[in-house]
Structure 1
Amino acid sequence: MATIGLDKLYYAKITEDDAGDETYGTPVKLAKAMNADLSVELAEATLYADDGASEIVKEFKNGTLSLGVDDIGASVASDLTGATIDANGVVVSASEDGGEPVAVGFRAKKSNGKYKYYWLYRVKFGIPATNLATKGDSITFSTPTIEGTILRRNKVDGQNKHPWKAEVTEGDSAVAADIITNWYQEVYEPSYATEAAE
């Protein structure tokens, strides 16, 4: 079903233990979302045998998330890009800056009024792009765009895999209501039936 909206853009800071496994901080509002473009790159391999394709493997390699937002505040810019806020509250970007990866969550409204919710587990952002224009006969809004690379997370889930995205659709009969209600309370952690049986 088609989506007709986008809102509730959040991010959660990541801390890593000695093994590199992620722990997510409490999600906080990133900005008001205008658009989100998500593209995925796959690693592909084909094994040929008996003059034809015998096996084909396609695995997630990485992705790109491009966010159009209304504004990026100082603390968000610091968290996402590694910029420094000086003693006067001014955001100072340096060539040596490099933000730490974060988890990014948002939701997209579907044409039936329900929402599809997302968490991207590990996104490393670059410097936001800004388009500026002089005021002419009409009003033109200039808003920042920030682009990040989506990576799989280091921490394995209950199936010994490295997830890169979680998504759920509101109103799905297989989904408990509290999953949707608590979506922005913490970054969603996959749960499998075999884990509950242990």
Structure 2
Amino acid sequence: MATIGLDRLYYAPITEVPVTGEETYGPPVLLAKAISAELSVELAEATLYADDGAAEIIKEFKNGKLTLGVDDIGRAAAETLTGATTDDNGVLISASEDGGAPVAIGFRAKKANGKYRYFWLYRVKFGVPSTNLATKGDSITFSTPTIEGTVSRRNKPDGNGKHPWKAEVNEDDSGVLPATITGWYTAVYEPTFAAG
């Protein structure tokens, strides 16, 4: 079903275990008011040819690109996402040596039926936000920042031994527990699988 809205944009800091790199997620923090979110995915592909045709075709997630349009990136979020620092005078300083830590990104999109589709991207590393500014003319034009990040799989395997990169759920899908939706922004969603 088509979506008609976007809101509740959060990030969660990641702490990594030194040897394995497995992620532990901190509490989600409101990032900004969301204007747009564009996610593009790059796949690693391989085709094995045998008997004059394609015998095996493999397509796996390689990485993704997340472009967020937001109303404003506050100082605390900029420090976390881009590695910028605040000096003694309260001025945000971006340096060429900066590099933010990866974070998890969560948001939701309103569907045409009034229900929501919820997302968590498990590992996103952002670059420096871009800013477009324009002089005020005869009409008012809003200038808002855009920040772009690379989405990758997480290091920590799930209950099936795989390394997820995204969690996505429609609140009106059958079998979705109400607690899954109500708890979506209290912690980064952790996949659960029945032992079997």
> Counterpart of 1:171 in 2: which secondary structure?
coil
Q: Which residue matches 1:38?
A: 39
Q: Which residue matches 1:107?
A: 108
Q: Which residue matches 2:178?
A: 177
Quote the Cα distance in structure 2 between the aligned partners of 1:156 and 1:10.
Answer: 23
Q: Which residue matches 2:10?
A: 10
User: How far 1:86 moved relative to its partner?
Assistant: 1.1
Quote the Cα distance in structure 2 between the aligned partners of 1:51 and 1:26.
Answer: 54
Quote the Cα distance in structure 2 between the aligned partners of 1:38 and 1:66.
Answer: 7
TM-score by length of 1: 0.97
Q: Which amino acid aligns with 1:91?
A: L
1:38-58 Cα shifts (integer Å, max 9, x gaps): 000000000000000000000
Quote the Cα distance in structure 1 between the aligned partners of 2:116 and 2:192.
Answer: 21
Structure 1 portions without partners, runs of 5+? none
Structure 2 portions without partners, runs of 5+? none
User: How far 1:171 moved relative to its partner?
Assistant: 1.7
Q: Which residue matches 1:56?
A: 57
> Counterpart of 1:76 in 2: which secondary structure?
helix
Quote the Cα distance in structure 2 between the aligned partners of 1:176 and 1:4.
Answer: 24
User: How far 1:11 moved relative to its partner?
Assistant: 0.2
User: How far 1:144 moved relative to its partner?
Assistant: 0.1
Q: Which amino acid aligns with 2:67?
A: S
User: How far 1:88 moved relative to its partner?
Assistant: 1.5
Q: Which residue matches 1:138?
A: 139
Q: Which runs of 4+ in 1 moved over 2 A?
A: none
Q: Which amino acid aligns with 2:151?
A: I
How many equivalent residue pairs?
Answer: 195
**Pairwise CA RMSD:** 0.6
> Counterpart of 2:42 in 1: which secondary structure?
strand
Equivalent pairs: percent with the same residue?
74
User: How far 1:131 moved relative to its partner?
Assistant: 0.1
Quote the Cα distance in structure 1 between the aligned partners of 2:184 and 2:87.
Answer: 34
Q: Which amino acid aligns with 2:128?
A: I
